[in-house]
Amino acid sequence: MKKLLLLILFISALDANILQETIDKAPFGATLKLPAGIYKGNIVINKPLTIVGNDKDVIIDGGGVGKVITINSSNVTLKNLTIRNSGKKMYQLDSAIFINKSKNSEISNCKILNSLYGIDMLMVEDSNISNNFITSYDNDIGLRGDAIKIWHSHNNTISNNTIDNVRDVTINYSDNNKILNNLVTNSRFALQVDHSKNNIIKDNRFRYNSVSLMLMMTQNTKITNNSIQSSKGAAGIGVLIKGGSNLIFDNNKLKYNAKGMYIDSKWTEMSMKRYITNNEISYNKEAIHFHLTIRNNTFTHNVFIGNIDDIVKSTAGYETKKNVVEYNYWDRYTGFDTNGDNIGDTPHKMYQYADRLWHYNNKVKFFYGSPVMAILNLIAQVAPFIDPILMMEDSKPIVNSTVSMDALKD
């Protein structure tokens, strides 16, 4: 193993060029340990190198211009740094850290402040982004950049980061990445995954975002043990799914959202696409909202409690029965269990009665959740004056939930 040269730097904040000069003069694989101070940014790293903040207040400042740090080499590590004040030009993707065509790099224990984009990753592989705090400029939400932008990048691990007040975290055309144990709050899309395969999203917490998870044309995505809560606004969505295949959504908590899960699937879909199992889906305005068609879904061993609506569909037509729905607990189930096997004697059928009016007519939505709609629904169930629509049927509903009320609390 190459012996690393330890360079202890004592750099004045007034010396504008010495950090870049030191990087340029350092041998391959060197470790630069920086004492407390403010260092000029807009630095470029073109060789394997480690830069470590040796004290708490080691700041690299971009001065509001361009990219604070650009990495054009593999095997680069940044640790214990505060990186701040990138440029503000969206079209240039001004960022705190731009990692370009790199392998085996690490960004850890850094604070990224007042930067348009946080970490911009282009064609990055086998790298680790962990234990960082990232926030953006205090712009309107659509004018902030992404906390982490992953583009054509594979086999990376994004873990234990705290992200607040950014626009999005995005993964595009990127495969085999792991998103683990991150906290994302007060942003637009906490995590958007687009045209990507074999990614794992596990043990994350998403709070107070407009949309917590947006999945667009993904394949073989595993989403497990996440807490997805309190999406913002009347249209806040916990999980939005459009197209894709082999989505596993297992053992997650999906709570306090306007729409818990929004599924936009085509009537031309073939084979099973989504496996939604062992989740707690509770206290949402709408638990599951289907846009076009209800097909190719597996719903098993989920708990549905306290939702205003369990199943909603926003368009007429394209009804199918190509779903597997069984062994879920529905707090609205009114059947019996005469043999004591904890499975209802009759299926749980979810119909759309008078509420179909507001699902298909935005003007009627004004009355959503009102006593008028509740009375109309009750009358329609007792003495139907229009044919109700069967939305979904659980063939083997669970009678008593195995999830305790304590477990349902935050």
The domains of the chain are located at 1-158, 188-353+388-410
Q: What is the mean pLDDT of the chain?
A: 88
Res 380 pLDDT > 70? no
Stretch among 357-361, 393-397, 398-402 having the lowest mean pLDDT: 357-361
Choose among 167, 250, 254, 260: nearest CA to 209: 167
Q: What does the block give as tokens for 261?
A: 């899960």
How confident is the model at residue 258, as a pLDDT?
Answer: 95
Query: Pairing relation of β-strands 274-277 and 323-326?
Result: unpaired
Q: What is the pLDDT of residue 341?
A: 95
pLDDT value of position 353: 63
Amino acid at the residue 65: V
- Poorest-confidence range of 59-68, 199-208, 315-324? 315-324
Question: What is the phi/psi pair of residue 247, to 5°?
Answer: -90, 125
Mean pLDDT score, 198-204: 98
Query: pLDDT class for 11, splitting at 50, 70, 90?
Result: very low
Least confidently predicted of 79-93, 139-153, 224-238, 259-273 = 259-273
Weakest mean pLDDT among 115-119, 147-151, 345-349, 386-390: 386-390
Q: What is the pLDDT of residues 44-75, one digit of tens each?
A: 999 999 999 998 899 999 999 999 999 999 99
d(CA 120, CA 102): 12
| Torsion angle of the four alpha carbons 104, 80, 187, 312, in this order, in degrees rounded to the nearest 10 | 50
Burial 267-290 (b: 16+ CB within 10 A, else e): eebeebbbbbbbbbbbbbbbbbbb
Residue 76 confidence (pLDDT) above 60: yes
Q: What is the pLDDT of residue 56?
A: 86
How many angstroms separate the CA atoms of 382 and 189, rounded?
Answer: 42
Q: What is the pLDDT of residue 363?
A: 53
**Is the predicted pLDDT of residue 143 greater than 80, yes or no?**
yes
pTM (two decimals): 0.88
Percent of the chain with pLDDT over 90: 76
As a residue count, the chain comes to 410
Q: What is the structure's pLDDT at 7?
A: 41
pLDDT at 371: 65
Output the 3-class SS for the chain: CCCCCEEECCCCCCCCCHHHHHHHHCCCCEEEEECCEEEECCEEECCCEEEEECCCCEEEECCCCCCCEEECCCCEEEECCEEECCCCCHHHCCEEEEEECCECCEEECCEEECCCEEEEEECCECCEEECCEEECCCCCHHHCCCCEEEECCECCEEECCEEECCCEEEEECCCCCEEECCEEECCCEEEEEECCECCEEECCEEECCCEEEEEECCECCEEECCEEECCCCCCCEEEEEECCECEEEECCEEECCCEEEEEECCCCCCCCCEEEECCEEECCCEEEEECCCCCCEEEECCEEECCCEEEEECCCCCCCCCEEEECCEECCCCCCCCCCCCECCCCEEEEECCCHHHHHCHHHHHHCCCHHHHHHHHHHHHCCCCCCEEEEEECCCECCCCCCHHHHCC
